[in-house]
Structure 1
Amino acid sequence: MRSQAYEERLKAYEEQLKAYEGRAATVAGVGKDPVNEPMIRHWREAMGDTNPEYAGPDAMAPPTMLQVWTMGGLSGHTGRSEAYDELFALLDGAGYTSVVATDCEQEYLRPLRPGDEITFDALIESVSGRKTTKLGTGYFVTTRMDVRAGGELAGTHRFRILKYAPAQRKQRQRTEQPSPKDRSNPKSRRPRPVINRDNAGFWEGVARHQLLIQRCSGCGALRFPWLPGCNACGCLEWDTVEASGDGTVYSYVVMHHPPFPAFDPPYAVGLVELSEGVRMVSNVVGVPYDKVRIGMPVRLEFQRYDEELELPVFRPGGTGEGGGG
């Protein structure tokens, strides 16, 4: 049971935190570059967005790039106030030394186009009361940024983080293979995929040992992962084609950390280009993690992890028609 003195100290501390609400985090910030076509092109290639409205010197920038034009890079921005650093120092000093981004919200008021000069102001919009999460106990801090183009408000970006003290966890002894008891323990099972009305057909195919790719009924473009509409022509009608199962490792990473109980790092996660031309992320199995290579031909198989979960993975082999680099 917490003492009255403790409660009074906590109240006084949280009043200190609340005093930062409404204070400026950045004043009269200036985007390091105007909105520009090369950056838009890089974004479109990274996101696989082929919408023609975002192509060419007269096109608009994808709205979700709003924050991109305000980023300060490694050298930061001028105009940053001391309030944000003071707030972080106050949280760090009380033991809330870890940080994780939790969510963001964006509101778009006008399109941004190549040549627009970006300015912005940011303020500390809110500091929550103390919250206890699975990560640990801490405080949510929300920053609001107003983004302007040529002095006109173009959009608002809210960014929320959690500053927390990590929860104490018992160290789990690692073994080469989990015991049957571990396999039945929900904490040691792989996370369940999020299934919704937009991707349910994909998972139904997996249950039948089919890897299904969406095909637009309007332009015939194939797409993966599944989306409610075509990002090439906007058509909402589609059917599916079954992948042959052949592919090539287009890129990959080796996961070492964090050591989730359901995984056994290090292991390879590949970006596999299927022979149909689309790419998907999956595990590369049947080969040591340090032997996976870009350009390696792979073949689809379905691997069962527990009584409820079966996933598409890739094993070296197959014809491997695809890209690389």
Structure 2
Amino acid sequence: MEAAAKGESGASDELGARLKAYEGRAASVTGRGKDLVNEPMIRHWCEAMGDTDPAYTGPDAIAPPTMLQAWTMGGLSGHTGRAGAHDELFDLLDEAGCTSVVATDCEQEYLRPLRLGDEVGFDTVIESVSDRKTTKLGTGYFVTTRTDVRVGQDLVGTHRFRILKYAPARQKQEPTGTRARRLRPVVNRDNAGFWEGVERHQLLIQRCTDCGTLRHPWLPGCNACGGLDWDTVEASGEGTVYSYVVMHHPPFPAFDPPYAVGLIELAEGVRIVSNVVGVPYDKVRIGLPVRLEFRRYDEPDADDEGGPLVLPVFRVLEDRAGGVG
């Protein structure tokens, strides 16, 4: 997102000057986690992430470092102690037409592990407000908040969260009869091999060469032993629907809701999120057997430098879906 942004400096940005005055002001003070660090929450997190590190189990368990923000979240009822500066800042942006928001990135620093029974406290400040930026989404400001997490007086970690608050850009009108294009996946150095395999109609799973554990999505290191060396195995393509949701809203260009998005458990034991096809959305059920296929979208043309888009999807097998295919 920020790679697509450019600064717009100038004396005319009076709003930017007003926003800058909020830097360093408190967004929340003396917040308290709603729960002590506890084994059930750690277990649920590890099950969701597929993390089997033994350090996260037993009476001497520590919490996975990436859970840092989870202990500070207020849930549906929120927290007391929220300072007015955060709301004032957002009100100014709303009044200026920056009514849309998108999260762009977060950074975490871990100073010591959280242990069972720790009571978490935190303070949040508005760390920075960028100059006015223009992105593909629209024009607005990047706002970064910093949350310092403590146990007693000890700083145990820091969480920075950055959002773009912006006025939506006017959408380019597509010619009549032109179908909107799908968004391209974000390809980086950690997952490039996966997408290269998809282009060849291969679904590649990472395998740790130290302990042999398979993992998906692709990661730079093994979440079982911490090993950094890996190779790949090609998935057979067989799997079952482990869980699913039916998307009704919000509508996205190039998609026709309602449609089913499944968490597919592959025969190899790892899980992948993809579309479930071959049956009406209301016929998808947990446990249905599916088979991998690759679909091609977006025929290349002069406006499409990336060429056609290939994505893995999963088709429900007819013999378990009442003959609907």
Given candidates 229, 246, 254, the residue that maps to 1:254 is 246
Given candidates 288, 294, 297, the residue that maps to 2:286 is 294
Query: Matched residue of 2:79: which SS?
Result: coil
Partner residue of 2:316?
316
Give the alignment of 1:1-325 within 5 angstroms: 10-11=13-14, 13-169=15-171, 182=178, 188-305=180-297, 306=299, 308-317=308-317
1:129 and 1:282 map into 2 onto residues whose CA distance is 38
Q: Which whole-Å deviations, capped at 9, do the CAs of 1:179-224 have from their partners, x for residues lacking one?
A: 6xx47xxxx4333334444444434443443323233333332222
1:98 and 1:318 map into 2 onto residues whose CA distance is 43
Query: Matched residue of 2:62: which SS?
Result: coil
2:148 and 2:196 map into 1 onto residues whose CA distance is 43
129 and 58 in structure 1: CA distance in 2 versus 1, 3 angstrom threshold? same
Q: CA RMSD in A?
A: 2.6
**Maintained 8 Å contact 1:247/1:319:** no
**Maintained 8 Å contact 1:299/1:318:** no
2:134 and 2:64 map into 1 onto residues whose CA distance is 36
Give the TM-score normalised by the residue count of structure 1.
0.83
Partner residue of 2:323?
none
128 and 275 in structure 1: CA distance in 2 versus 1, 3 angstrom threshold? same
2:186 and 2:162 map into 1 onto residues whose CA distance is 23
Q: Which whole-Å deviations, capped at 9, do the CAs of 1:115-138 have from their partners, x for residues lacking one?
A: 111111111112222222222222
1:300 and 1:101 map into 2 onto residues whose CA distance is 32
241 and 99 in structure 1: CA distance in 2 versus 1, 3 angstrom threshold? closer
**Maintained 8 Å contact 1:198/1:226:** yes
Q: Which whole-Å deviations, capped at 9, do the CAs of 1:266-286 have from their partners, x for residues lacking one?
A: 322211111222111122222
Partner residue of 2:3?
none
Q: How many residue pairs are counted as aligned between the two chains?
A: 303
167 and 196 in structure 1: CA distance in 2 versus 1, 3 angstrom threshold? closer
Q: Which whole-Å deviations, capped at 9, do the CAs of 1:148-176 have from their partners, x for residues lacking one?
A: 112101111111122222222256588xx
Give the TM-score normalised by the residue count of structure 2.
0.83
2:11 and 2:29 map into 1 onto residues whose CA distance is 35
Task: Structure 1: state its 5+ residue gaps.
Answer: 1-6, 321-325
**Maintained 8 Å contact 1:246/1:319:** no
Q: More deviation in 301-310 or 198-207?
A: 198-207
241 and 87 in structure 1: CA distance in 2 versus 1, 3 angstrom threshold? closer
Q: In the TM superposition, what is the alpha-carbon distance from 1:100 to its structure 2 partner?
A: 1.8
Question: Quick one: percent identity of the two aligned structures?
Answer: 78
**Maintained 8 Å contact 1:297/1:319:** no
100 and 78 in structure 1: CA distance in 2 versus 1, 3 angstrom threshold? same
128 and 319 in structure 1: CA distance in 2 versus 1, 3 angstrom threshold? same
310 and 69 in structure 1: CA distance in 2 versus 1, 3 angstrom threshold? same
Q: More deviation in 281-290 or 147-156?
A: 281-290
Higher helix share: 1
Task: Structure 2: state its 5+ residue gaps.
Answer: 1-9, 300-306, 321-325
2:191 and 2:11 map into 1 onto residues whose CA distance is 50
